[in-house]
């Protein structure tokens, strides 16, 4: 099988989407040609080493917008803000609409030269699905569209656009999705969000390919011996879906004020992106001696800091959208490094189901500071008493979420789609 895998997010771009794409391609038993953006158009990590197998080939292309629109450095950040808004408004469904014509030409070339059997697109950004639609129209090849986030996509709010912007996405989705041979979501909630756009499709046209973990991250190590309980949260917060560390900080402050936690025996570190309001709350609650915020760190540094921690913090969004559809990729990295998880996740969320199934940690209601304080106190007392926190996962359940397993599921879905397609599995120019 030879697959064209189209994804804007691919290392050295950062984020769980990029890591998902590179790792699933790494374990996918197929000749895979990845069509992605060249470095610089998305936030990227210069220190990432790909180490891809010989069957994975990466083609990076430019886009029809200036790379400065993604700069976060110095004066460029202010120039970016001034220039970027028109691209958001003109781009339907998002600003990577201006990558589409370049990617379609590059995709056609790959299909012609490499004898591609199937097109696979992964979003967000959802403009990637326009590329899949046009390549399918031009070549007749079967097309699977993967969605890591639901539709309408909540990112339209985080980009500072009014909620009405989602009407563009809705109109776009109804026009586009009927052309897909299969639709994939990363969990049942995301897959269900796609069904209203294609109500005529059968249940078997929808599939779930979960996030997963790379088994190579497991090294069997234990955290360094310490008298201080080290807790880590690595990743970004999305306030627009009700995701915030504030109640955790309030719970910790309450435990310290009540004399139940010694601030000299606990160290909480946040890495990634934290709202300024939460950074200010750390100071307001006088937690600066035991809570630190380090900002973004390279991915390999992030993994090492997880290994050096005793307890890993998972905080989910509390909005209705988050409860139904959001599965944080970090829960699988936590699973891979083998540390217990303090999971502040709604009981009905996809993340809660995973934590319960795999038994990798304990759950507290993210909307109740008293619940958070109770579970945090239990972990703290266990550490003070035993000098460590026990980690007793259900390893058989965890194994189902390895990328090796998920890649095999995806390969089977791809083969099924190719076999069911009525078009020849070779390039035909339909123009």
pLDDT at 373: 96
Same domain, 407 and 298: no
For residue 304, the enclosing domain spans 215-386
Q: Are 213 and 247 in contact (CB under 8 A)?
A: no
Same domain for 60 and 127?
yes
* pLDDT at 282 (0 to 100): 95
Residues 251 and 108 in one domain: no
Confidence (pLDDT) at 48: 58
Residue closest to 339 by CA, chosen among 369, 372, 384, 303 = 303
Within-domain flag for 307: yes
Counting the structural domains of the chain, the total is 2
Identify whether the C-beta of residue 80 lies closer than 8 Å to the C-beta of residue 70: yes
Please report the pLDDT score of residue 185 as a whole number. Answer: 94
Is residue 394 in a domain? no
- Asked if the structure places residue 430 within a domain, the reply is no
Residues 295, 410, single domain; the answer is no
For residue 159, being part of any structural domain is answered with yes
222 and 203 in a common domain:
no
397 belongs to a structural domain: no
- For helices 330-337 and 299-307, the axis angle rounded to 10 degrees is 50
Neighbouring C-alpha atoms within 13 Å toward the C-beta of 367: 9
pLDDT of residue 102: 93
Same domain, 10 and 143: yes
Q: Which residues of the chain have pLDDT under 50?
A: 74-76, 91, 153-165, 425-431
Residues 79 and 206 in one domain: yes
- Separation of alpha carbons 388 and 394, rounded Å: 19
Q: Vertex 5, ends 215 and 25: CA angle to 5°?
A: 15
pLDDT digits (tens, 9 = 90+) for 107-136: 999 999 999 999 999 988 888 999 999 999
Does this model's pTM top 0.85? My answer is no
- What confidence score (pLDDT) does residue 79 get? 52
Residues 250 and 354 in one domain: yes
In a domain, 353, yes or no: yes
What CATH number is given to the structural domain containing 176? 3.40.50.2000
pLDDT at 392: 92
Structure tokens, 312:
């890993």
pLDDT at 78: 55
């Amino acid at each position: 099988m030879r697959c064209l895998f189209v994804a804007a997010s691919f290392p050295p771009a950062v984020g769980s989407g990029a890591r998902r794409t590179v790792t699933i391609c790494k374990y996918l038993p197929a000749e895979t040609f990845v069509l992605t953006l060249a470095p610089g158009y998305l936030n990227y990590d210069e220190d990432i080493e790909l180490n891809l197998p010989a069957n994975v080939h990466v083609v990076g292309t430019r886009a029809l917008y200036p790379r400065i629109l993604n700069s976060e450095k110095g004066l460029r950040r202010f120039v970016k803000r001034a220039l970027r808004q028109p691209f958001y408004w003109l781009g339907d469904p998002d600003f990577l609409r201006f990558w589409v014509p370049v990617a379609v030409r590059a995709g056609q070339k790959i299909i012609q030269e490499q004898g591609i059997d199937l097109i696979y697109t992964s979003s967000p950004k959802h403009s990637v699905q326009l590329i899949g639609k046009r390549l399918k129209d031009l070549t007749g090849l079967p097309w699977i569209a993967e969605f890591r986030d639901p539709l309408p996509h909540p990112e339209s709010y985080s980009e500072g656009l009014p909620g009405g912007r989602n009407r563009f996405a809705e109109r776009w989705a109804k026009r586009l999705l009927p052309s897909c041979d299969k639709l994939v979501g990363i969990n049942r909630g995301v897959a269900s969000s796609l069904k209203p756009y294609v109500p005529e499709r059968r249940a078997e046209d929808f599939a779930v390919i979960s996030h997963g973990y790379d088994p190579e991250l497991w090294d069997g190590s234990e955290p360094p011996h310490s008298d201080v309980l080290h807790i880590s949260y690595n990743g970004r917060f999305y306030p627009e879906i009700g995701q915030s560390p504030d109640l955790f900080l309030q719970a910790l402050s309450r435990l310290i004020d009540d004399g139940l936690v010694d601030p000299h025996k606990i160290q909480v570190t946040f890495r990634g992106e934290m709202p300024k309001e939460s950074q200010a709350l750390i100071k307001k609650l006088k937690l600066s001696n035991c809570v630190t915020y380090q900002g973004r760190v390279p991915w390999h540094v992030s993994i090492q800091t997880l290994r050096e921690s005793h307890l890993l913090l998972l905080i989910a969004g509390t909005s209705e959208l988050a409860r139904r559809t959001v599965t944080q990729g970090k829960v699988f990295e936590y699973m891979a490094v083998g540390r217990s998880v303090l999971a502040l996740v709604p009981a009905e969320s996809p993340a809660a189901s995973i934590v319960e199934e795999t038994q990798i940690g304990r759950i507290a209601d993210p909307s109740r500071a008293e619940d958070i304080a109770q579970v945090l106190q239990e972990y703290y007392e266990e550490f003070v008493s035993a000098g460590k926190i026990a980690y007793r996962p259900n390893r058989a359940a965890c194994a189902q979420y390895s990328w090796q397993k998920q890649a095999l599921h995806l390969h089977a879905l791809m083969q099924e789609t190719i076999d069911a397609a009525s078009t020849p599995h070779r390039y035909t120019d339909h123009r």
